[in-house]
Amino acid sequence: MYEDIMGIVPPMVTPFRHDGSIDEEALRSETRYLIETAQVHGLAVCGSTGEGHTLSTEETRLVTAVVCEEAAGRVPVITGIIANSTAAVIERGRAVQDLDVAALQVTPVHYVFRPNDDAMTRHFADITTKTNLPVIIYNVVPWTYLSPQLLTRIIDEVDGVIGVKQSAGDLKMLADLVMMAGDRARIMSAVDALLYPSYALGAVGAIAATLTAVPELCVEQWNAVQAGDHEKAKQLHEKILPIWNAIFDDNLPANIRYCMELQGREGGVPRPPMPETSDVQKGPIRQALSQAGVLNRNEEMIELP
């Protein structure tokens, strides 16, 4: 059942309007594009790229419901939850419980104080038990970063934890986790700079911001790896890495939206206080996309600074 969670799973932006509301039609349009044109293998909503930390429980349900309805079972949909208490995570999980959600993607808590390993294990056990939904741990919060040893313990002790989205740039930690967890969990890469090596090491796919910025390139790379064409996969890595280098900043979701805008896709605006992409950032982003060949099909139609 959980084997369907694999391949290229873009973490979608939440298309906010300037008044803070969610543009449902833009969300539907992007869902259709990712499934029908880019041919991705799954979708993730309300994560860090979707500014899930700014969403209310009601908004989390709305975004999930819209994407699930538009996806119509064609690909699995994962709902992200970024919250600071077990109760808050359970509340949001229950809010999407009746929707066609394949799994929850849940961060460890992101406040200053770190729960110990026993408390962290209970946290995820309570979430899976009380939401009755499988959980992928989103290992991203620096001060509650979970070691491969702890992640493997949670996978072994908590039946409902089915995978890990391994973030940050430490590829050795991803390699250790793949070796320790083996086939007992779905290990997805969020090491954006090193997606190709992640796949080569055994990650079963990715849920990473770059996938939303340039989904077709990322699908092409995944397909090359699956076909054993590692020369092509490395060539695509050399196109994708400069894009990541250009977009990676504290306003990453805004920069992903700018990539979308350059390709004729509507991503809305970020929620304050996150700033929009600056003029200084726009040049390198556009250059990286152009050099990767992403804009060639759109440049005649779209004129942006």
Single out the catalytic residue among 165, 239, 258, 282: 165
Structural contact between residues 207 and 174, judged by C-beta atoms closer than 8 angstroms = no
Q: Is 162 exposed, middle or buried (0-12, 13-18, 19+ CB in 10 A)?
A: buried
289 closest CA partner among 250, 251, 242? 242
Q: Is 275 helix (H, G, I), strand (E, B) or coil?
A: coil
Single out the catalytic residue among 33, 138, 199, 258: 138
Q: Does the annotation count 130 as an active-site position? A: no
Q: Does the annotation count 165 as an active-site position? A: yes
196 closest CA partner among 183, 185, 184, 210? 210
The structure tokens listed for 55 are 């969403």
Structural contact between residues 50 and 268, judged by C-beta atoms closer than 8 angstroms = no
241 closest CA partner among 209, 203, 195? 195
Strand ordering across the sheet containing 161-166? 7-8, 205-206, 186-189, 161-166, 135-139, 103-106, 77-81, 43-45
Residues classed as catalytic: 138, 165
